[in-house]
Amino acid sequence: MHRHRLLSRTPQHSLRRIQGFSLIELMVGMTIGLLTVLIIAQVALVYEGQKRTTTSGSDAQVSGALALQTLQREIQTSGYGLTSGGTVGCTEIHGKRNGVDYLQPMAPVIITDGANGQPDSLRVLSSSGASISLPIRVFGEHRRDDTSFRIDQNTGLGTRQGDLMLAVPTKEIGTTQFAPSWCTLFTVSKDPTNNTIEHKTDAAWPWNQDPTTTAFPGNVDADISYAAGSHLIDLGVLVDHLYDIRDAANGSAARSLRLQTFDSTTGNTTATDLFANIVNLQAVYGRDTNADLQADVWTATPPANAAEWAQVIAIRIALAARSDQPEKDIVTTLAPTWHPDGITPTDLRVDNTPDWQHFRYKIFEVVVPLRNMLWQS
């Protein structure tokens, strides 16, 4: 009888085991699985968004910091070889290279103001000579059609054939000199003798023009361009760098800090994109109007005369760097600000590119002293 009961239970137990999960159990399992996948996907999306924001902010930080450091280093050394001997105050540099005019204000840094908050541009001038740049005093009068300068005995040390030089008019009272005057570029055509620096006209020296197209001051050949007491500055090579924001004019989203380099040896200008996503550059002059070696006036208006140019001892600059990737949502609602005078907040426009509100911005601001102007003072 016990054997019969045991055998009769076996099929029922086996049937129960092969029935598997019920429909309810399957639905519960699927629901739990879907919820798990949804949570994981949500976490992944949030993580990717945070990573993109962090990475984009880091890109803007690095790009802006490097751009600022590049400008700061260049501006600090501006005016080397140009600010000695009273050259700041000549108002303008005149030159002719193969008949093409070269005209620039005689200043270490020239700001071209962008209209309505558009990016400014900065032109930085200096010299890059093989030897130290010291003023050489002109001993005798230099007329418009002369092909050499007479200098004091043995003062042309370090000057050599092929060097680019700058003639600076004298400020001595009582001298006869053509007015208005300016600084003139020319090339040394022969290694100087004891008391002569030549600048003869020749195809090998494109900065030296014949008297009919000369860049020297004067209306006729007999006019005195530079009186005794004027100075010559050996530049070696003129460094002319222009920093601006590429594509700033047409509102393109692809903006970057650009360097345009003028080569005084060849006359060519080359452009190089330095740092991407720099969307605005603003600058103002710092002028010392009371001779205490501190900038007390900050203005974007260029100096009107030689005396005001000599007062410029610092440049304040601001850069706006943008994140590389746009955000899905609007993350910037108001324009960032900078302080042109060090106190008053002023909008720094970033709304001149498409979808500007979907990007994050880093603002960099610094005051750069003009070392060579201060040391001259």
| The pLDDT of residue 6 | 47
Instruction: Decide: 184 and 217 in contact? Cβ < 8 Å.
Output: yes
| The pLDDT of residue 17 | 56
| The pLDDT of residue 12 | 55
Count the residues in the chain: 377
146 to 36, 191, 211, 376: CA distances (angstroms):
91, 17, 8, 31
| The pLDDT of residue 252 | 45
What are the per-10-residue average pLDDT scores of the chain (377 residues)? 49 56 78 83 70 68 92 92 67 87 90 91 88 81 91 81 90 78 91 88 86 83 90 91 79 77 91 92 95 92 87 95 86 91 92 86 94 78
Distance (Å, rounded) from C-alpha 126 to C-alpha 241?
Answer: 9
Q: Is the pTM of this model over 0.95?
A: no
| The pLDDT of residue 55 | 59
For residue 311, give every residue at least 6 positions away whose Cβ sits within 8 Å of its Cβ, in sequence order, or none.
Answer: 287, 288, 289, 303
Q: Is the dihedral of CA 127, 129, 133, 137 positive or negative?
A: negative
- The tokens for 32 are 């739990």
| The pLDDT of residue 7 | 46
- Classify the phi-psi angles of 236: left when phi > 0, otherwise alpha if psi is within -120 to 50, otherwise beta: left
Residue (of 220, 198, 197, 201) closest to 210 by Cα position: 201
Instruction: Decide: 286 and 297 in contact? Cβ < 8 Å.
Output: yes
Element spanning 240, H or E: strand 238-246
